[in-house]
Structure 1
Amino acid sequence: MVDPIVVDLSRIQFAATAMYHFLFVPLTLGLSFVMAIMESVYVMTGRVVWRKATLFWGVLFGINFAMGVATGVVMEFQFGMNWSYYSHYVGDVFGAPLAMEGLMAFFLEATLVGLFFFGWDRLKPVAHLAVTWLVALGANFSALWILIANGWMQNPVGAAFNPDTMRMEVTDFMAVLFNPVAQAKFVHTVSAGYVCGAVFVLAVSAMFLLSGKHLELAKRSIVVAASFGLASALSVVVLGDESGYVATEHQKMKIAAMEAMYHTEPAPAALTLFAIPGSDGRPAFEVQFPWVLGLITTRSLDRDLPGITELTEHAALRIANGVEAYKALNALQANRNDATARAGFDAAKADLGYALLLKKYRPDVENATGEEIAKAALDTVPDVWPLFWSFRIMVGAGFFFIAFFALWFWKASTHRIEKPRWLLWVAVAVLPLPWIAIEAGWFIAEYGRQPWVVEGVLPTFYAASGLNFWDLVISLSFFMLLYTALLIVMVWLMVRTIKHGPSDKLNFDQSIEPVETATIAPAK
């Protein structure tokens, strides 16, 4: 059994590198579509300011994209270094979408990004516009495969444990691909990235207006950011509702923990807006909205939501049944032709992962006591209050962005962008909020499924490599220093680019004719 401290350090290391990496991903997703929209307007109207805007935001996109690639590569190596048993146990399933993401990110997307930057004077405007849209789509396809892999960890469909190979194997790749959890996560995550990009563009443009620089570019950028941001913010909330619904179907304990719901809520369940924990960790005071949670999570008025206590009791039953699967598996290892053991394993194999929770308490799972089963069942409850408040930070930010972009959309529509100045300062101050909301969302997704690295299949503590304490301390310190240095470099480059403003190094002295009235010629 792996030392618990080693497991915790492995988790901290992966969490740190993943959350650092995801500082860059949302902005890449958002800026890619902002660039595509702006270049589309340039090609249709022929106005040089739109080309200048596309290039300016494109440079910032390029800086962020490079840092995202640099921080993302390391994460994939950690599956082999820190989580070797995870890679052995589920690598046949997890490896396929991960490989596809590598192809998308490092071959397709990187090639297209190169064409975007170096193809302005070599491609016709319509051809270059197609490249820009492909950059945006490529970034999203790259995210799709990662979220398919992550969605499978949340809801492991289309795969089964093979007692002969002692590994999870794909049984239905289409089920893995169209996993409802993965699809809901994808659309919700990329929409959050679009919000991040829109907030970034609006905040930087507000800085330009406050300083009296690059006014035409700033005004046009705010129009695009306000429109794109409003649509994206609405999408985030709507698609977040879908994520809540699928989580209710497949991760009931996560939903119960997010709501600090210790007992089953009769239908329709109330949504807790605010709560104060008591001395026993349970809510001592709470403010609730009747019916709302039931409507969001069950789409009905007659379905109860199980609470933590009842789900823990159900987990104990699954652990006990999993012990029977574990016994049968041991018999199959001794004699693969044992028909009785195979039949027994097939009957209980769905709960084999629950039996592995007992490995925390004893190596001979088949001899577990009732007390140990009860302890293992309690381990299925994640820490409630960090999830409770992270969820409310994320949701609160989502509704704030709807109001924020609706206001700026109205101001852009009525040509009141420059005043009042205090609202421009608000736009600048809002800049960190999308990252806070996005990181809170990832915390909910990953921390909320503990103690599982693959829901119901493989406990986190059982998936870690057998590294020693100092291996992890040294590597964690190195990665934190490296990633912090990369983040500082990125911020410095971003700030320097923004201070310099839109570049005139390419030939902006000539425009192109609109597509409606003339054949487009290459820009000089």
Structure 2
Amino acid sequence: MEFDIVSLSRLQFAITALYHFLFVPLTLGLSVILAIMETVYVMTGRLVWRQMTKFWGTLFGINFVMGVATGIVMEFQFGMNWSYYSHYVGDIFGAPLAIEGLMAFFLEATFVGLFFFGWDKLSKLGHLMVTYLVAAGSNMSALWILIANGWMQNPVGSAFNPQTMRMEVTDFFAVLFNPVAQAKFVHTVSAGYVTASIFVLGVSAWYLLKGRSTELAKRSMTIAASFGLAASLSVVVLGDESGYLSSEHQKMKLAAIEAAWDTEPPPASFTAFGFPDQEARETHYAVHIPWVMGLIGTRSLDTAIPGISELVENNKTYIRNGIKAYDALEQIRIAGPKGQVSEEIQAQFEDNGQWLGYALLLKRYVDDPRLATEEQIVKAANDTVPGVLPLFWSFRIMVGLGFFFILLTGTFFYLSGRRRLDQHRWLLKVAVFSIPLPWIAAEMGWIVAEFGRQPWIIEGVLPTAMAVSNLGASTVLLTIAGFVAIYTVLIVIEMGLMIRAIKDGPAPDSNPEAMLAPASIVPAE
């Protein structure tokens, strides 16, 4: 990696985002599992379900606090490290970010407090509604941040204003209902549900192995297995939708994920295994599965998926068109707000304005894109190819783990139906050792999503290299070191608190028979 301001700013945001996302999936999933458990408690009156809700709620609370603490820093980075990005698209990106803040810090945080301190102050139904609002707040918070992120992947409902030199909203509902954003939202929250399910499954399996809190553990595993199986299946289906949308809006990302160097006759094959070589533009020891990629990527038998070489050639044309837009824009800027610009110049910008971002790719090599040589245009076009090897393997690790989660949750779902959850100790050990795997899958997913759209911070509109603040490399290095140190301490604290809460277990049963008794037998609280 080159230690320039762009690479360091990217590294800092990647580190803080990956740290933050260690907490997000568990918060999303546990909030829904808590709502399910408390619903059963309200419907049956069995105190064991209240005990379960409180116990898993404690772990949710620890994770929620850490998620909020690490998430705040990410929002401040837009002004600190990405000031030109904030200036360029602040009118669009700021709205969902502000709504996300309201969802997270007002709705969610308020009801989290009521969840913990309202058990003896609210009615059963009232407290259940609080728990549902906590789950809704958590998921709505994710919705708005993913609307913002989805717009960066597919910038709809907006247009560049040559007078203000900024992107502006033209259709807020197009931004809101951006198909890429909606697909990312449902895929991400489903991944969070899987993460929480595997976590509950693994911790419950540990209790069964230790012979502790077995009634709580078995019921928790039943909820986790059924909820986790549904979520695991939905992740695969929704991930397929994300891949299909990439074939429409982010063709280069899809080609890089598949190491598709050249366009194949449709339907394209899927490369199950191999070692991509970006310099040679070939994949060594490749194992291909015929037709699969064409069916997944295009849902047809006769539509081709363009390869990297073809897309690079297309981007050369886009860069040349972008230079025309840049030339017209410079003349519009010189004329000023009140100046007269010929209809020919206006038409030149309108015809080529959509390619302006491609001309900005040349800023890495020349101050004025209009003076770019053919060699520089070729270099800029080649820059549109992201790192193929990390994308290729990150995607396959994520997908492989996804199918493993279906197998794991499906197995325990079957065992729970047969009431045999504690009869296979080796399976319980597998569940315990599987606890970290959803986080690995989630982090791989974010690497695919964010690393895959480089060199763009906004796909086709603004290159990452132009979005950074004018900071010194030493300043960013210092903040990276600070963030890594502080976040590592936070993770150690969180892990310590979680492990201690798990070892302590739920509150002891003062009357085990009453914990399992139906509502008609349990004395009034």
Q: TM-score, normalised by structure 2?
A: 0.96
Q: Which amino acid aligns with 1:333?
A: R
Q: Using the alignment, how far apart are the partners of 2:511 and 2:307 within structure 1?
A: 64
In structure 2, the partner of 1:459 is 463
Q: Give 2:327's aligned amino acid.
A: K
Q: For the Cα contact (< 8 Å) 2:41–2:50, is it kept in 1?
A: yes
* 3-state secondary structure, aligned to 2:384: coil
Please tell me whether the aligned partners of residues 44 and 514 of structure 1 are also in contact (alpha carbons under 8 angstroms): no
> Is 1:102 aligned with 2:105?
no
Identity over aligned residues, as a percent?
62
| Contact persistence 1:271–1:288 (CA under 8 A) | yes
Distance 1:478 1:506, change over 3 A: farther
Which residue number in structure 2 is paired with residue 179 of structure 1? 178
Query: Residues 79-137 of structure 1: CA distance to partner in whole angstroms, max 9, x if unpaired?
Result: 00000000000111000000000000000000111111111111110111111111111
Paired residue secondary structure (2:262): coil
Alignment-derived partner of residue 291 in structure 1: 291
Matches of residues 202-217 of structure 1 in structure 2 within 5 Å? 202-217=201-216
Code of the residue aligned with 1:458 in structure 2: it is L
Return the letter of the residue paired with 2:340: N
Aligned twin of 1:227:
226
Summarize the Cα distance change of 1:500–1:6 in structure 2 as closer, same or farther, 3 Å threshold.
same
Q: Deviations over 1:349-371 (max 9, x none)?
A: 00000000000001011111111
Unaligned runs of 5+ in 1: none
Structure 2, unaligned stretches of length 5 or more? none
Superposition deviation, residue 280 in structure 1: 2.0
Taking the aligned partners of 1:4 and 1:484, their CA distance within structure 2 comes to 23
Equivalent residue for 1:420, pick from 418, 424, 434: 424
Q: Which residue of 1 aligns with 2:340?
A: 337
Whether the 8 Å CA contact 1:52–1:503 is kept in 2: the answer is yes
The secondary structure found in structure 2 opposite 1:274 is strand
1:366 equivalent in structure 2:
370
Counterpart in the other structure of 2:42: 43
Distance in 1 between residues matched to 2:276 and 2:43, nearest whole Å? 57
CA–CA distance in structure 1, aligned partners of residues 509 and 472 of structure 2: 53
For 1:25, the equivalent position in structure 2 comes to: 24
Deviation track 1:272-295 (CA, whole Å, cap 9, x = no partner) reads 101134572521321111111111
CA contact (8 A) 1:151 1:179 kept: yes
Shift of 1:514: 7.1
Q: Aligned partners of 1:347 and 1:292: how far apart in 2? A: 38
Q: Which deviations, in whole Å up to 9, do the C-alpha atoms of 1:300-345 show, x marking residues without a partner? A: 1110010000000000000000000000000001114203322211
Q: 1:509 to 1:116 in 2, by over 3 A?
A: farther
Q: Which residue of 2 aligns with 1:55?
A: 54
The answer to whether the aligner puts 1:71 opposite 2:74 as a matched pair is: no
Partner of 2:123: 124
How far residue 508 of structure 1 moved from its aligned partner, in angstroms, is 9.8
4+ runs deviating over 4 angstroms: 504-515
Secondary structure in 2 matching 1:268: coil
Which of the numbers 335, 354, 358 marks the counterpart of 1:354? 358
1:99-498 equivalence runs, <5 A: 99-277=98-276, 280-335=280-335, 336-339=339-342, 340-498=344-502
- Which amino acid counterpart does residue 29 of structure 1 have in structure 2? L
> Which amino acid counterpart does residue 243 of structure 1 have in structure 2?
S
Distance 1:121 1:353, change over 3 A: same
Partner deviation per Cα, 1:62-88 (whole Å, 9 max, x = no partner): 000000000000000000000000000
SS of corresponding position for 2:286: strand
User: How far did 1:455 drift?
Assistant: 0.3
In 2: Cα distance, 1:197 partner to 1:115 partner: 22
Amino acid at match of 1:398: G
Q: Is the 8 A contact 1:208 1:215 kept in 2?
A: yes
Closer, same or farther: CA 475–100 of 1 in aligned 2, 3 Å: same
Q: Is the 8 A contact 1:89 1:167 kept in 2?
A: yes
User: For each residue in 1:443-482, what CA deviation from the matched residue of structure 2 results, as whole angstroms up to 9, or x when unmatched?
Assistant: 0000000000000000001100110011111111000000
Looking at structure 1, the residues matched to 129 and 158 of structure 2 have their Cα atoms a distance apart, in angstroms, of: 38
| Distance change >3 Å, CA 317–CA 131, structure 1 → 2 | same
Distance 1:82 1:505, change over 3 A: farther
Residues 248-273 of structure 1, C-alpha deviation per residue, up to 9 Å, x if partnerless?
A: 10000000000000000211111110
Which residue identity lines up with residue 402 of structure 2 in the other structure? G
Secondary structure of 1:203's match?
A: helix
